[in-house]
Amino acid sequence: MSTTGSSELEVLDLPETPDRGAYPRLTEDQILLLSRYGEGKRLARGALLFCEGDRDCALFVLLDGKVQVVQENHPGGKPRVIAVHGPGRFVADLSMLTGQAVYVTAVAQTDLAVLEVTYDRLREAVTQDQALGDLILRALILRRSIHAELGAGLRIIGSRFSADTRRLRDFASRNRIPCRWEDVEEDPDAEVTLRAFDIPSDQTPAVIWKGRTVLLNPSNTELAELLGLRAAPSRAAYDLVVVGAGPGGLAAAVYAASEGLSTVVLDALATGGQAATSSQIENYLGFPAGISGAELADRAVVQARKFGAAFSIPGEATSLTQADGYHVVGLAGGGDLVAHSVLVATGVRYQRLDVPGLDRLEGSSVYYAATEFEARLCGQDPVTVVGGGNSAGQAACFLARRSPVVNLVIRHDDLGRDMSRYLADRVEQSARIRVWRDSEVCELVGDEVLAEVLLRDLRTDARHRVPTTALFVLIGAAPHTGWLQGALPLDAKGYVLTGRTADGREGMFETSREGVFAVGDVRSGSVKRVASAVGEGSVVIRQVHEFLEAEERR
């Protein structure tokens, strides 16, 4: 981080961004509290508070002067001002709480008087005022959403027909990484960018970071390391390795780390699991207005990191073995993690449709989640959702905010059979959602992008051609336990069996291998709900403690 010197950015005399949820103004009492934990500084006009790509940034409370927050990596060539902060505001980025790189730059518009509060000191301050901590966290989450809407951060240049472009877009979306996608097929900015950075068109997709670093078709791991998503192992053996960063794994990480266990969390793709793809969870205790799965995940990551948990994303587990009395989790790409105990929280993965056209169009027009990212890609076009559960209902309602026509396809006639009643009522009351009952998708029509879906009436065998540009498949899931074959007992459907250890002891979440536990959707007999997974992840830590103490591992 740089707080001295002059910026090459053009500093404009702009009005302050209006107050709203993302940009609250601190009270005098809140500033007084933070002053006990921060250091007062004076900075000259043009000084950088932090730059795109920086890590371990501080929070700055403005006592006098103004600060511009800008997007440096803007397609227009010149940095774009996103917000202007004045006295009483705080300047920070969500990345300071998650340990990642920041995606924007903050530059002094005038001479400044600021209060600089480092992350460690901020943690101490918010324990004195929980309302202040929540205000800051909520504002930073909202700002990240605004940055994503504006396309700040990464630039991904590639073809909509490329599987690798889709992979990079999905990785950014699932990890809530602000980015701009430039489609080489239709976006004129893409050609300008390729020429500016001398990138051959046959070497896309390409990722541009900080306006100067170019990665040609990077792997998810390479991209994660660039952005600070992966933590290198810091211990020879951890007390607990959590495999899977869905609600159950995140809850376990919070409770394990808060109770002093050295904890590392792995996930093959992103924090939040399938829950993070939910646009609105309305039946989660304590959030009467609902909460998005992405915000729930971000809050949990911040909370777990506050207590010392480490995260390695992506970190795909490929095997579970034992050596010298320790559990060894093998990792994709080589290497492993050694632990006294392991928690399996790998959840489930959505199933695919077995229909003609899926393989051809899956890379461009078929989705297995409905987040803000996918909704923006669909725009005002008609879309189709397949599935009758809560995930499908939430997706249909969310997509109907933008799309004038949302087709919801279910294989039976009772929308309330597998969907919560409040959600089924909302679907039926929406003028934009058409429910196709007793129907199934039998073919996808389109050469390179989806144009229509062919629906079959299961009662009459009649066919219907339905115009649609995107298909969302939410038809159930299978446990993600392929990496555990031969290592742990699984039930007939592949879920992890728990409840009785090898020596006959009762342990609701412990497997037959001592020191290995399972929670959430991946566990046989579990209730497949977010709240249930969170509860199991919280409770299992007691059994982990009991095992470690009995084995004198701590």
Contact 50, 117 (CB under 8 A): no
pLDDT computed for residue 8 by the predictor:
63
For the chain, domains (ranges, CATH) are 28-149 (2.60.120.10), 154-220 (3.40.30.10), 238-349+478-550 (3.50.50.60), 358-475 (3.50.50.60)
Task: Give me the mean pLDDT over the 249-264 stretch.
Answer: 97
Residue range 440-452, pLDDT digits in tens: 999 999 988 899 9
pLDDT computed for residue 503 by the predictor:
59
Please indicate whether residue 376 or residue 504 has the higher confidence score (pLDDT). 376
Task: Give me the mean pLDDT over the 160-167 stretch.
Answer: 88
Using the structure block, give the residue that is written with the tokens 């989705």: 367
d(CA 552, CA 554): 6
pLDDT computed for residue 2 by the predictor:
42
pLDDT computed for residue 72 by the predictor:
82
Residue range 98-122, pLDDT digits in tens: 888 899 999 999 999 999 999 999 9
| Long-range Cβ contact pairs of 189-196 (< 8 A, separation 24 or more) | 189/75, 190/157, 192/75, 193/75, 193/155, 193/157, 194/157
DSSP string, 236-266: SSEEEEEE--SHHHHHHHHHHHHTT--EEEE
Please indicate whether residue 454 or residue 351 has the higher confidence score (pLDDT). 454
Per-residue tokens: 43 = 């900075």
Q: Which of 60-64, 242-246, 358-362, 522-526 has the lowest mean pLDDT?
A: 358-362
User: Does residue 4 register a pLDDT over 50?
Assistant: no
Contact 296, 281 (CB under 8 A): yes
User: Does residue 428 register a pLDDT over 50?
Assistant: yes
Query: Mean pLDDT, the chain, as a whole number?
Result: 91
Residue range 291-307, pLDDT digits in tens: 888 899 999 999 999 89
Using the structure block, give the residue that is written with the tokens 């555990």: 484
Residue range 43-56, pLDDT digits in tens: 999 999 999 989 88
pLDDT computed for residue 189 by the predictor:
86
pLDDT computed for residue 6 by the predictor:
37
Contact 455, 467 (CB under 8 A): no
Task: Give me the mean pLDDT over the 338-367 stretch.
Answer: 91
| Helix pair angle (293-306, 130-150), 10° resolution | 130
What distance, in Å, lies between the first and last C-alpha atoms of the chain?
38
User: Does residue 395 register a pLDDT over 90?
Assistant: yes
How does 372-409 read in b/e, with b if 16+ C-beta sit within 10 Å?
A: bbbbebbeeebbbbbbbbbbbbbbbbbbbebbebbbbb
pLDDT computed for residue 265 by the predictor:
97
Residue range 500-532, pLDDT digits in tens: 665 555 679 999 999 999 999 999 999 888 999
Query: Confidence band (pLDDT; 50, 70, 90) for 12?
Result: confident
Who contacts 523 (Cβ-Cβ below 8 Å, separation ≥6)? Answer: 344, 495, 496, 498, 509, 536
Closest CA to 53 of 146, 165, 154: 154
Using the structure block, give the residue that is written with the tokens 């006294």: 340
Question: Is 92 exposed, middle or buried, given 0-12, 13-18 or 19+ CB atoms closer than 10 A?
Answer: buried
Q: Are strands 452-457 and 439-445 parallel, antiparallel or unpaired?
A: antiparallel
User: Does residue 206 register a pLDDT over 60?
Assistant: yes
Please indicate whether residue 260 or residue 529 has the higher confidence score (pLDDT). 260
Who contacts 368 (Cβ-Cβ below 8 Å, separation ≥6)? Answer: 277, 350, 472, 473, 474
User: Does residue 154 register a pLDDT over 70?
Assistant: yes
Task: Give me the mean pLDDT over the 112-134 stretch.
Answer: 93
Task: Give me the mean pLDDT over the 328-346 stretch.
Answer: 94
Closest CA to 358 of 349, 350, 366: 366
Contact 95, 57 (CB under 8 A): yes
Rounded to 5 degrees, φ, ψ at 446 are 150, 150
User: Does residue 356 register a pLDDT over 60?
Assistant: yes
Percent of the chain at pLDDT above 90? 67
Cα-atom radius of gyration of the chain, to the nearest Å?
Answer: 24
Query: Confidence band (pLDDT; 50, 70, 90) for 75?
Result: low
d(CA 366, CA 445): 12
